Structure 1
Amino acid sequence: MILTVTLNAALDVTYEVDALVPRGSHRVRAVHERAGGKGVNVARVLSALGTPATVTGLAGGPTGQLVRDELRTAGLRDELVPMAGDSRRTVTVVSRDDGDATVFNQPGPHVDRAAWADFAARFARLVREAAVVVLSGSLPPGLPSDAYARLVRTAAAAGASTVLDTSGPALTAALAAGPTVVKPNTAEIADVTGHEDVVAAAEALRARGAQAVVASRGPEGLYAVTPDGAWRATPPRRLSGNPTGAGDACVAALAASLASGEPWPVRLREAVALSAAAVPCPMAGDVDRDIYDQFRTTVSVENTHASDIH
């Protein structure tokens, strides 16, 4: 089982408009509402691939109940822990003419010590069933900056691997705990290391404790530095659309292939193919199976050295 953690769960609201015009008035052509947050999106992708996944994290208030209702409708195992505050909403406006998305993320409610203690106890129980734990997204107000570090250590003690997808102080604090894989994008990795060069930045994260680093380079694919070597994985072509869910699909592929024991070149090929398959979809958590099937046999994965990455 793969356990996904979403400490800042949300109700994702997506508006589809013909075209997004700054300072303009827009007629909304379609509205979609469903459970979200990065870990929830990862679980949704895993479920679509037939890989069992459990959703845990924090949810509260009327919005939190809507999140839980939608998880049940989607057939996802709900192990969210109640909290006092009302869960956040995110709003994504997708333009039909080019597929581009504009996202508005609320910060989330303040989490008190009791809710955090309840979650930690639930996590310690669930992690005993898990082969891989996915820790995704921002930390809500009230949680300590080393929250992910604590969860990485708990997972390791239970024998579970970890995939960490976060940024800023939460990422920095978690590195010393030795997460199995960290997956920043180029902006996030530059922010925490001070290196604009992705190779130097990835090596810096490894030096600070991450066992493997998979850096997302957007439409250029992935760069990975691991205990088994370094690779560059490149999609066969670029796709236009909404990249909002691409990172979550990438994490889903990494978690699934880590659980099945695939070698790194296979993990990266799957990750690029699945993240590309998310781009044409208006909502995070969805993937285009035809594109996934096409790309998983055509993604280029090359052993590389620092001088090969530009």
Structure 2
Amino acid sequence: MAAIVTLTMNPALDLSTETEGLEPGHKSRCRSPRRSPGGGGINVARGLRVLGADVLAIYPSGGPTGAVCDRLLAELSVPMQTLPIGGDVRQNIALHVQDTDEVLHLVFPGPELDAGEWQACLDAVGTLEPAPDLLVLSGSLPPGVPEDFYARAAERAAHRGSRVLLDTKGPALRAALDARAPLYLVKPNHRECRQLFDVPGDAPEDYLATLDRLIADGVARAFVVTLGARGAVLASAEHRAHLRPPSVAGRAPVGAGDSFVAGLAHRLAQGGDLVQAARDGVATAAAAVQHHNGDLFRPQDLQRLRERVEVRHLRA
């Protein structure tokens, strides 16, 4: 069994294209779209494969779009385990508007999963032999899947000795935290953190009191809150740090956050501590911002940027 397993409950076929400009009521001519297999955990698995990690991507797949995702992932040499569903995997669109240099992310809901379909996904991660070192639960939940699904998956995986990394948002994140699921690390972004908790400001230090309380209450062993261009805040019982990336040119593409998780998980699987893992996450996200051809990031950019990440230890 792979050392790292990712579970993507809401996979997608990501289409990215460009248009000169948008004018309401008129057609906008676009370039031929680039197609990539996507969804949180699938992107993480793609990034881990780029880094040479031993990874397996598990996800529900169905319909013509699902078949395309399966084929594209196979072409990227990412090992996968697909679980059949009756619905068609969704498509998302990233549109670069050239005259404003803006990127519009159009995200659609996934197919509705029935109880047997989502239960099969839960059983798949709960019966892996041997249990993986790391299980990454990443992305949104499609219609029909209960909000506490990730909490249930974490319980099963942690009971078998896996470290569980959670990267989701909204009700799925709230349910996992409320359930006190045995989570090793949770990675919300700053917007998600501020929506869920009473954070007094937006400076890195302002997150510590909330994160320390959650850790003391047993919600998770560690939190990494991503701050966009300002890097990330790490909090655990042993570490509190602000990790700031070097200044890089580029637009944040679809998958920058997933690239962060790939870099972080890769370092943890290699035996790195949380500060080293968070540093690699920040560097990998910065590498993704510089890269725009659908391949997430280049390993040589990660190697170059890693040593330029500033690590500032924070007081409790």
TM-score w.r.t. structure 2 length?
A: 0.90
Aligned amino acid, residue 177 of structure 1:
A
CA distance in 1, matches of 2:183, 2:104: 31
Partner of residue 258 from structure 1, selected from 262, 268, 274 = 268
Q: Is the Cα contact below 8 Å between 1:164 and 1:179 reproduced in 2?
A: yes
CA distance in 2, matches of 1:276, 1:121: 35
Q: What SS does the corresponding residue of 2:272 show, helix, strand or coil?
A: coil
The answer to whether 1:105 aligns with 2:115 is no
For residues 139-178 of structure 1, what are the structure 2 equivalents within 5 Å? Answer: 139-175=141-177, 176-178=180-182
Q: What SS does the corresponding residue of 1:244 show, helix, strand or coil?
A: coil
The answer to whether 1:138 aligns with 2:140 is yes
Deviations 1:221-241 (A, max 9, x none): 000101212000001214321
For residues 5-154 of structure 1, what are the structure 2 equivalents within 5 Å? Answer: 5-18=7-20, 20-21=21-22, 23=24, 25-95=27-97, 100-126=102-128, 128-154=130-156
The Cα shift of 1:247 comes to 0.5
C-alpha change, 1:265 and 1:22, in structure 2 (3 Å) is farther
The answer to whether 1:199 aligns with 2:208 is yes
Deviations 1:70-124 (A, max 9, x none): 1111111120211111111111112457764211111111110111222222222
Q: Is the Cα contact below 8 Å between 1:249 and 1:285 reproduced in 2?
A: no
Identity across aligned pairs (percent)?
Answer: 33
Partner of residue 187 from structure 2, selected from 183, 187, 197 = 183
CA distance in 2, matches of 1:169, 1:115: 20
Q: Is the Cα contact below 8 Å between 2:150 and 2:176 reproduced in 1?
A: yes
CA distance in 2, matches of 1:239, 1:138: 29
The Cα shift of 1:291 comes to 2.7
Aligned-CA RMSD value: 2.0
For residues 230-241 of structure 1, what are the structure 2 equivalents within 5 Å? Answer: 230-241=240-251
Aligned amino acid, residue 185 of structure 1:
N
CA distance in 2, matches of 1:305, 1:100: 38
C-alpha change, 1:293 and 1:191, in structure 2 (3 Å) is same
Q: Which residue of 2 aligns with 1:220?
A: 230
Aligned amino acid, residue 195 of structure 2:
D
The Cα shift of 1:35 comes to 1.2
Q: Is the Cα contact below 8 Å between 2:51 and 2:266 reproduced in 1?
A: no
Q: Is the Cα contact below 8 Å between 1:42 and 1:251 reproduced in 2?
A: yes
Structure 1 residue runs of 5 or longer lacking an equivalent are none
Q: How many residues are matched?
A: 305
Aligned amino acid, residue 303 of structure 1:
H
Q: Which residue of 1 aligns with 2:204?
A: none
CA distance in 2, matches of 1:215, 1:127: 32
C-alpha change, 1:280 and 1:196, in structure 2 (3 Å) is farther
C-alpha change, 1:154 and 1:274, in structure 2 (3 Å) is same
Q: Is the Cα contact below 8 Å between 1:131 and 1:159 reproduced in 2?
A: yes
Structure 2 residue runs of 5 or longer lacking an equivalent are 202-206
